[in-house]
């Protein structure tokens, strides 16, 4: 029987190889325990997989949908509506003004005389360029002679209808000169109202013109007037006597009580003076 020989590489006797068991080291070996080889598939690192989330990604169909918050339209808020209304009103006013101005300018362009008169208002009294009428182109008008109640009513007071101011009447008194305006009056009351209206307009700051066509303004107070009733019905006689068809002359100054110089011609003249402005006897 052959003796086993020692194998230095394998550290065991040849011919007596131990059978491999579950342990990889020979029995009674002083060598450290050998680590069994790792399978190839075990050498590949396994990736970590996150466990699946059981929370559903979508809400179940039977779950009630949460209400979606509505965003208020800023164009429907009351401050915006109020601002829009004001803007529309301002624009409408501007457009209307421009349209009105355009229409006015169009009318003025079509009428040069109107354009000149509106663009250059005059602050002076008008000037009369026509000559006074003569006896050849005047006619006699038949009408009742105005009543003066003279001489019985000499010194009587009359009250104006406009301002309730009193005027005193003097028969056959003619104050010469100081005429502010002369016109045709059909009654003694009309002559009184004319003087009262003059003073009322003067108090309001209205520019008063002389009425004689001389282009001069007169801001003096009317303190009296002279009235010729006959010239109201016979304008031809008025033109022949004083050069114009007028029988009431407003005065800014009266002095004394001069007698009527036309009485010899059959022309009655009545003097009127504002109470408080009448000359002293």
Examine residue 270 and state whether it is found in any structural domain, yes or no.
Answer: yes
Residue 147 in domain: yes
- Is residue 247 one of the residues assigned to a domain? yes
In a domain, 60, yes or no: no
Quick one: pLDDT at residue 117?
A: 37
How many domains, in total, are found in the chain? 1
Beta-bridge partners for 214: 127
Q: In Å, what is the CA distance from 30 to each residue of 9, 23, 27, 278?
A: 15, 14, 9, 167
- Asked whether residue 263 is domain-assigned, the answer is yes
From 202, 140, 212, select the one nearest 180 (Cα to Cα).
Answer: 212
Domain for residue 207, yes or no? yes
pLDDT digits (tens, 9 = 90+) for 182-228: 999 999 999 999 999 999 999 998 877 865 545 566 789 999 999 99
Range of the domain at 232: 135-274
Chain mean pLDDT for the chain: 74
**Residue range 103-161, pLDDT digits in tens:** 666 655 555 444 333 343 345 565 554 444 444 554 444 668 899 999 999 999 999 99
232 vs 73: CA distance, rounded Å = 82
């Amino acid at each position: 029987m052959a003796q086993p020989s020692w194998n230095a590489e394998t550290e065991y006797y040849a011919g007596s190889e131990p059978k491999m068991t579950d342990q990889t080291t020979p029995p009674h070996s002083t060598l450290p325990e050998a680590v069994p080889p790792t399978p190839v598939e075990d050498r590949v690192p396994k990736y970590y997989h996150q466990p699946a989330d059981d929370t559903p990604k979508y809400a179940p169909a039977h779950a009630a949908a949460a209400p979606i918050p509505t965003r208020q339209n800023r164009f429907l808020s009351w401050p915006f509506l109020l601002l829009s209304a004001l803007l529309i009103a301002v624009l409408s006013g501007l457009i209307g003004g421009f349209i009105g101005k355009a229409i006015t300018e169009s009318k003025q362009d079509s009428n040069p005389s109107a354009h000149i008169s509106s663009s250059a208002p005059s602050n002076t009294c008008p000037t009369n360029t026509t000559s006074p009428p003569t006896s050849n182109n005047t006619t006699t008008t038949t009408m009742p002679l105005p009543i003066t109640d003279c001489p019985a009513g000499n010194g009587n007071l009359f009250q104006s209808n406009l301002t309730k101011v009193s005027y005193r009447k003097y028969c056959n008194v003619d104050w010469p000169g100081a005429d502010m305006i002369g016109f045709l009056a059909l009654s003694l009351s009309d002559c009184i109202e004319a003087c009262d209206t003059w003073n009322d307009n003067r108090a309001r700051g209205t520019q008063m013109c002389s009425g004689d066509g001389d282009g001069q303004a007169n801001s003096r107070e009317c303190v009296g007037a002279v009235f010729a009733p006959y010239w109201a019905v016979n304008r031809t006689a008025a033109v022949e006597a004083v050069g114009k068809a007028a029988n009431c002359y407003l005065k800014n100054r009266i002095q004394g009580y001069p007698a009527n110089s036309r009485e010899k011609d059959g022309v009655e003249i009545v003097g009127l003076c504002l109470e408080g402005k009448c000359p002293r006897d």
